Structure 1
Amino acid sequence: MGPNPFKPTAGKMPPILIGRESVIDAFDRGLANGAGAPERLMLITGQRGSGKTVLLTELGRMAKKDGWDVISETASGGMVQRIVESLRGTSPRVTRASIGPSASLGGTSLSLGSVELSRPEAPLTIRAAIEDRLARLPKGKGVLITIDEVQSASRDDLVAISTAVQHVIRDEDMTDLPDTQKHGIALAFAGLPIAIDNLVNDDVLTFLRRCVRYDLGEVRIPDVKNAYISTVNDSGKMISEKDAQTAAEASSGFPFMIQLVGYYMWQSADVNGSDAITAEHVSIGATDAANAFQDSVCAPAVRSLTVAQREFILAMVPDLPEPSQVAHIAERCRKSMSWAGKYRASLIASNLIEPAGRGYVRISMPHLAEYLQTRREA
């Protein structure tokens, strides 16, 4: 039997990347159309588990294949400095070594010398680092910088990166070369929807408003079903159209769940030594996938909520699986309707709940309702 083809690991490129063709095609056009193509500046948003990291990986793969250099970062402290070092290709190097006195321990001689490591002098700005890297590339090629979890980036870092990219684009525009021969710079940010909204609305980060935005939603169930059939069959097992449909419905079209369901139904068949994935294997796989999804996606989503957001969403639990009336949520929380309206809006922006008719909301993240019902202490 062949290895399990499904890869539900954060950032790991899955064998199937479905439902994201519009983003991939747009980026491909951006690379082909030369300097100034709007698709070279992207904002990608989506819930946890919606495939943002995988999509950034795919964009990086495409750029490398086209001869571009790619710098991939996850936002955290010191991000700009790490990008600068990656652009320059710097790494610690030995600048001085000395051999000091020796000591003897149990008949073994130990040198007490020292080694000093330092880095080459860093460029003054990230702009200089980008321009230095571009100067080493062939005409028409460029640098793609991808930044994941952008909501964790400092405002100063984002200002520095955005300002540098604007100047680099302007400098390239002042050359007499055709757009397809100018050096390029591309940026792709990925983050949670509400974080992206806050960044775009920042008066200092107006540059981000010119980025093309893509909001990652669920994949169509028929597309998931077809992907299951082709992936399973191409990897040495069989699955019927009916069972593939059941598996697709269990995934809710959510990219991470697509991989989880596929992984666990394949594993269930493997454990039983079966070359065919049956309805029983799909059922076991769907249950295991739901548990894994709750632990790796739902739990972090709930932990990231503010106290007020968590209070609001927990007040919806008594109504499950039916929608909740916002007025009842306010009453249960002993808060005003303006309070309820504020946190209703923030949870909708985070893609955790959605409108369900006038004055009603429902939980929208897959398996979050079950998680809240069984683990309210989370």
Structure 2
Amino acid sequence: MNNPFTISFGMLPQKLISRPAQTNEIIDAFTSDQAPTHTFMITGVRGSGKTVMMTEICNVLRNRKDWTVLELNPEKDVLKSLASKLYNLDTLKHLFSNAGISVSSMGFGFTIDNTPVDDYEVIVERMLKVLKKHHKHLLLAVDEAVNNPYIREFAHAFQIYLRQDYDIFLLMTGLYENLYELQNEKSLTFLYRAPKVFLEPLSFDMIAESYSAVFDQEPSVSVEMAKLTGGYAFAYQVLGYLKWERKPAEIKNLLPEFDHYLADYVYDKIWYGLTEKERLILHTIVKKAGSQYARSMKIRDATGITKNAYGVYRDRLVHKGVVDGRLYGQLRLALPGFERFIQKKELYA
């Protein structure tokens, strides 16, 4: 049997822990007779399982009658890609052809009723009209959305399609800072109003049960492993992967390699995406409390950051999934072993 865990981002692992409540919330909303929303945005820290959740939802709807699911690359011309992918689906091409939509004889661009059309917003709209006529629903999935010209152009067009009552749905994933920047574009207020799904840590119980189902070990060992992951989805995969490959006598023997994978694959990217003040706050939390809660007053005193400014930085770090602010007036690191990562940064600074 192959290793059921994976350290590759974007792949659907053989062994995973689903989030049925949030997944079903999105599926139920999209498939309702009167859909309450046509857009959902999934956000969370790197490695929290955004892509996995999106993939699960896409797979469910892909198997539903009269649903078409397309995944779009946010770094390419999204509208052009959408038109091309839609037209080339074997299940739909004959419907488009019968409606007068075709690719030009030269193989470049589209024609509608034998007239060349180079406006992809218009082409997609004509295709959506065909889909609606045949009672077909379209889900568009954009993984790791960013605020770039392609996404803005696509979002503007999507907003128009919604007003015209087409059966089109949008599922986006992205880091908090990227989605925040995108939704605050003045002309994209529908994204600001779109429901957000924030991926919280996984349940320790579910992680322990998952490990026990794979490894022949005492329940206490599975509990120890679950605690080491901190509920962080990528850490759950890494620790399971290492346990399968190394078969250590004790879990603590995996810690150096566990930390190395987290640093290389995720923590370095998170760290260099933070501002200087945000890093200062994290350094201070580690100095004051290690992996435990530190009082906000002590953090402010040590950093010299004013109360108002501190509130802004605190909220950013919480939304980015880097710190846990659930206890009033206190903060702690939200990621497993992140205090060791920060200590090493200080050591080699």
Q: TM-score, normalised by structure 2?
A: 0.80
Change (3 A) 1:73 1:369: farther
- Residue 146 (structure 1) aligned with residue 141 (structure 2): yes
What is the deviation of 1:18? 2.2
Amino acid at match of 2:271: V
- Identity of paired residues, percent? 21
What is the deviation of 1:145? 1.1
In structure 1, the partner of 2:41 is 43
Change (3 A) 1:315 1:285: closer
Match of 1:258 among 217, 236, 258: 236
Amino acid at match of 1:63: L
In structure 2, the partner of 1:30 is 29
Q: Distance in 1 between matches of 2:304 and 2:13?
A: 46
Q: TM-score, normalised by structure 1?
A: 0.74
In structure 1, the partner of 2:172 is 189
CA contact (8 A) 2:147 2:179 kept: no
Q: Distance in 2 between matches of 1:317 and 1:249?
A: 19
Change (3 A) 1:364 1:306: same
Q: Distance in 1 between matches of 2:38 and 2:255?
A: 38
Match of 2:332 among 342, 348, 362: 362
In structure 2, the partner of 1:345 is 315
CA contact (8 A) 2:44 2:176 kept: yes
In structure 2, the partner of 1:161 is 154
Amino acid at match of 1:119: F
Q: Distance in 2 between matches of 1:311 and 1:224?
A: 32
- Residue 72 (structure 1) aligned with residue 71 (structure 2): yes
Q: Distance in 2 between matches of 1:171 and 1:10?
A: 37
Spell out, residue by residue over 1:136-156, the C-alpha distance to the aligned partner (whole angstroms, 9 max, x if none). 688333221111222x232x4
Q: Provide the aligned C-alpha RMSD in A.
A: 3.0
What is the deviation of 1:243? 2.3
Where does 1:277-316 land on structure 2 (aligned, <5 Å)? 280=249, 282-285=251-254, 287-316=256-285
- Residue 212 (structure 1) aligned with residue 195 (structure 2): yes
- Residue 119 (structure 1) aligned with residue 108 (structure 2): yes
Spell out, residue by residue over 1:117-163, the C-alpha distance to the aligned partner (whole angstroms, 9 max, x if none). 9732464133532541662688333221111222x232x44443333
SS in 2 for 1:315: helix
Spell out, residue by residue over 1:328-362, the C-alpha distance to the aligned partner (whole angstroms, 9 max, x if none). 44454454444333322322222212337554422
SS in 1 for 2:164: helix
What is the deviation of 1:250? 1.8
Please tell me whether Structure 1 or Structure 2 has the larger radius of gyration of its CA atoms.
1
Change (3 A) 1:204 1:4: same
Spell out, residue by residue over 1:157-210, the C-alpha distance to the aligned partner (whole angstroms, 9 max, x if none). 44433332333334346xxxxxxxxxx211011112243344444432111244
Q: Distance in 2 between matches of 1:128 and 1:118?
A: 16
Where does 1:329-340 land on structure 2 (aligned, <5 Å)? 329-340=299-310
Amino acid at match of 1:29: D
Q: Distance in 2 between matches of 1:244 and 1:138?
A: 53
Q: How many residues align?
A: 324
Change (3 A) 1:281 1:65: farther
CA contact (8 A) 1:354 1:363 kept: yes
SS in 2 for 1:38: coil
Q: Distance in 1 between matches of 2:7 and 2:282?
A: 27
SS in 1 for 2:200: coil
SS in 1 for 2:173: strand
What is the deviation of 1:326? 4.0
SS in 1 for 2:249: helix
Question: Structure 1: which 5+ residue stretches go unaligned?
Answer: 91-116, 174-183, 270-278
Q: Distance in 1 between matches of 2:122 and 2:57?
A: 22
Change (3 A) 1:313 1:74: farther
Q: Distance in 1 between matches of 2:283 and 2:170?
A: 38
In structure 2, the partner of 1:113 is none
CA contact (8 A) 1:31 1:63 kept: no
In structure 2, the partner of 1:97 is none
Where does 1:199-238 land on structure 2 (aligned, <5 Å)? 199-230=182-213, 232=214, 238=216
SS in 1 for 2:71: strand
SS in 1 for 2:140: strand
Change (3 A) 1:133 1:287: farther
In structure 2, the partner of 1:56 is 54
What is the deviation of 1:256? 1.0
